[in-house]
A and B are shown apart, each in its own frame.
Chain A
Amino acid sequence: GAVVSQHPSRVICKSGTSVKIECRSLDFQATTMFWYRQFPKKSLMLMATSNEGSKATYEQGVEKDKFLINHASLTLSTLTVTSAHPEDSSFYICSANSGGRDTGELFFGEGSRLTVL
């Protein structure tokens, strides 16, 4: 099946620094990727939809200047958490749809656990 790879899987950084998380579709082209945030014991919260070659679409309440998304190619989307603070510590997950949008099956990356000290 389709594979989505996410890197790094774990990152610890100091408050005020920026962290970049990469999401790659390994065996298919993904014009759309999704970025989620998950708090402990909570469900996925869609942060933004990453569109190849255009600006990301952010969900209400998500700061676009805080969470920068770049989708420069059909196989790579990046999420940069800028000026990270402890409250940004979370599990960030990307996903991509390998088929047409009406198939809907999402393939998820392994997730990235961010800890901001």
Chain B
Amino acid sequence: GQNIDQPTEMTATEGAIVQINCTYQTSGFNGLFWYQQHAGEAPTFLSYNVLDGLEEKGRFSSFLSRSKGYSYLLLKELQMKDSASYLCAAMDSNYQLIWGAGTKLIIKP
């Protein structure tokens, strides 16, 4: 079956770095997405990886290893506003997104 695993909750300190991991198993693969979702709001797109390697976009970076079925989202210089849920989603061979349950990130001063 198809499955996405990511930690339920993580805590980090303002100004620090945090890495949110995601492993996936899908029927075929057409890319890995990370979305940020603040409580009560719709998700917003953060990143898309389809090739192995690291994609950097400002304070956020996303990494993909297709052979390992693994991705991580790296957040640097954490700010209080980064407190949110981070959703990992893999696109299968039918271009359907398979969603993880999300990782709730708590930032402490």
Which A43-86 residues have a C-beta within 8 angstroms of B? 43-46
> What residues of chain B lie closer than 8 Å to A103, measured between beta carbons?
48
Shortest distance from the beta carbon of A104 to any chain B beta carbon, whole Å: 5
Contact residues of B: prevailing secondary structure: loop
Task: Mark the stretch among B53-61, B73-81, B92-100 that contacts chain A.
Answer: B92-100
> What residues of chain B lie closer than 8 Å to A6, measured between beta carbons?
42
User: How many interface contacts (CB-CB < 8 Å) are there between A and B?
Assistant: 49
Closest to B31 in A: A104
> What residues of chain B lie closer than 8 Å to A41, measured between beta carbons?
104
- CA A73 to CA B99, docked complex, whole Å: 28
Shortest distance from the beta carbon of A107 to any chain B beta carbon, whole Å: 7
- Contact of B45 with A106 in the complex, beta carbons under 8 Å: yes
Q: Which A-B residue pairs are the 9 nearest by beta carbons? A: A108-B42, A111-B42, A43-B101, A43-B99, A101-B95, A93-B42, A43-B102, A44-B99, A104-B31
* Residue ranges of B at the interface with A (Cβ–Cβ < 8 Å): 30-31, 33, 40-45, 48, 87, 91, 95-97, 99-102, 104
* Residue ranges of A at the interface with B (Cβ–Cβ < 8 Å): 6, 41-46, 91, 93, 95, 101-111, 113
9 contacts between A and B (CB under 8 A): A43-B100, A43-B101, A46-B99, A104-B31, A106-B33, A107-B45, A111-B40, A111-B41, A113-B40
